[in-house]
A and B are shown apart, each in its own frame.
Chain A
């Protein structure tokens, strides 16, 4: 029965296994708890979507996976097991060997994510040369080839174009080429299509899918867009206030959302058929990350707290657990322990 804390689809050694990841930043106003117990399991070759509203900690989680908080004032605890090896205790120098090589990242805004003064091709070749001892010429050839693979016409000529000379879609293709040039096993795409218009979005998602099946990489797709999740993901993790509040297969999350926040997200989607709809906000505000409440982080926006006895929602933080019913997936809600009540709520 699915009473384990993690997803029921777990293979013997998942590509990525995040346990109780926490990231906090000391600031002048106090400590910002941006990620507060994030759990995620990702099988080899699969795609997991991370969804959640703005400020829920999606980007911070992604950056923690890349080890970008090493050598900064931020505190990162928990476990990030990549292929069984924990990345959290690694030093910046050790982490460098993984970045770009085993884990790579695509950023939301490709224009600002590329260096404005270097040709696009040179930036891709540079990414290749970091992890492969080859001549500049050989790396350039690899970069041209890569530009072709991501669908940029006349790649040999476009090699020496600058980022500002590319269209938005082209730039994101080039960004993908840069991320995939060392054939990473895990690709993190942080809202890769948010800055693009709808038709280009679809092309980029298709491209990512193609390249993923070619290389067998696992992908983390960070997005606001449940339409994207439905289209490209196997698994989905819903984040709220820096916590994973629910993890399920895509089919399960749409068919049987267990956390009231997830239910709210789905309800705010006008129609599941009109895929690329943005999430409309749920009334209320996310919790202050400076002073987190003792109880459930969603309690003050949750329409269902009255269904839980003893005001547990405001006094006890629920853990990420499987439901009492059959074949249920983990969610972080007191209600999931009392199956019939949830039915009433829907």
Chain B
């Protein structure tokens, strides 16, 4: 098990290096010219060149990449020669737009994304798995048809549609919920858990509508498949009661693929719920990433891309480890 995790960890580092290099190259090759953007309206070729030096973009590509990556190991100096400033470890560079440490920008944005993600994940897992299980147990009955019908509507509702609809109904028309505010980024702040809950309820619901629908389908499908397994017949032949059969024998096997899906979705969502954050104006990672990409702010975009990749890769490793815990057949000795 330890060896398995070590191997996965090494592979993870290698993969992150590749992703960082590819992302870095794409920005270099891209059409955006941060130097001319940085030097503003009245720009002369001389001032562009100056800006280029200040941003460190006059150096060869490879040395730029190496100096950027060295910030992950130690603090480094950034800026034009003579006007250099220290970028503390872990240094992800400074924003081309605001000259702020990228690390600080991410630290500021992350709690918002965590707030959006955490509640949404809990909500859609409970609703999706619960209803999926219920539908499987009531197969072909009215309840099943209702749940499956709702799920097929749910999967076809994109987040912008659900989000705007929710805002229209609960905020504009009936005014029962507040519009999301920047001031609340965690349940431990001044607003308390209650304020945090109300503030993020709509984004959670918007995400949960889409994701629950997928989870309902996957859970129902897997449970039905499991119900047909021979070992379920064995469980019944022992004289077990229905809850024992369904939960101890059925759910244990049927839920495994859902665990995989959940792990990967969590990884994905931690890299920023781009659409949800846009619609509800939550200044999280996704929101910041969109702004930075539009402005050609290389260090910010680069850092967020790497971070999203990191979460996804970590999620993969966690899912593999979880699988080994759940299913003894995949355990490596």
Contacts and interface: CB of A to CB of B under 8 A. Distances in A.
Which interface class (under 10, 10 to 19, 20 to 34, 35 or more) fits A?
20 to 34
A96 interface: yes
Contact of A99 (B230, B231, B237, B249): B237
Interface stretch (A123-131, A151-159, A232-240): A123-131
Contact of A112 (B231, B236, B238): B231
B241 interface: yes
Contacts of B249: 115
Nearest to A102: B239
24 contacts: A66-B236, A68-B233, A97-B239, A99-B239, A100-B237, A100-B238, A100-B239, A101-B239, A104-B237, A105-B237, A107-B233, A107-B234, A112-B229, A113-B230, A115-B234, A117-B252, A117-B253, A117-B327, A126-B238, A130-B238, A130-B239, A162-B329, A178-B234, A178-B238
B288 to A, nearest CB: 42
B32 interface: no
B307 interface: no
Contact of B329 (A104, A107, A164): A164
Contacts of B235: 115
Nearest to B240: A130
B241 A96 contact: yes
Interface string A103-126: 011010100111111000000001
A98 interface: yes
A114 B234 contact: yes
Contacts of B231: 112-116
Contacts of A66: 236-237
Interface string B240-278: 111000000100110000000000000000000000000
A109 B237 CA distance: 15
Interface string A123-155: 000110011000000000000000000000000
A116 B239 contact: no
Given A100-B237, A162-B328, A164-B329, 8 more contacts: A98-B239, A99-B237, A113-B233, A115-B231, A116-B327, A116-B328, A117-B253, A178-B234
Contacts of A98: 239
Interface in B311-333: 326-329
A164 B240 contact: no
A116 B229 CA distance: 11
- Consensus secondary structure, chain B interface: helix
Interface in B200-240: 229-231, 233-240
Given A112-B231, A117-B327, A127 B238 contact: yes
Contacts of B242: 92
A178 to B, nearest CB: 7
Contacts of B241: 96
A343 B240 CA distance: 52
A98 B238 CA distance: 9
B240 to A, nearest CB: 6
Contacts of A97: 239
Contacts of A164: 328-329
Nearest to B236: A68
Contacts of B253: 115-117
B328 A96 contact: no
Contact of A131 (B239, B326, B329): B239
Nearest to B140: A73
B234 A113 contact: yes
Contacts of A178: 234, 238
A105 B238 CA distance: 9
A113 B239 CA distance: 15
Contacts of A115: 231, 234-235, 249, 252-253
Contacts of B327: 116-117
B51 to A, nearest CB: 61
A66 B237 CA distance: 7
A112 B229 CA distance: 7
B207 to A, nearest CB: 31
Nearest to B230: A112
A176 to B, nearest CB: 13
A66 B233 CA distance: 10
Interface string A62-104: 0100101000000000000000000000001000111111001
A113 B230 CA distance: 5
A116 B230 contact: no
A211 B234 CA distance: 20
B308 to A, nearest CB: 33
A161 to B, nearest CB: 9
B239 A107 contact: no
Nearest to B250: A115
Contacts of B239: 96-101, 127, 130-131
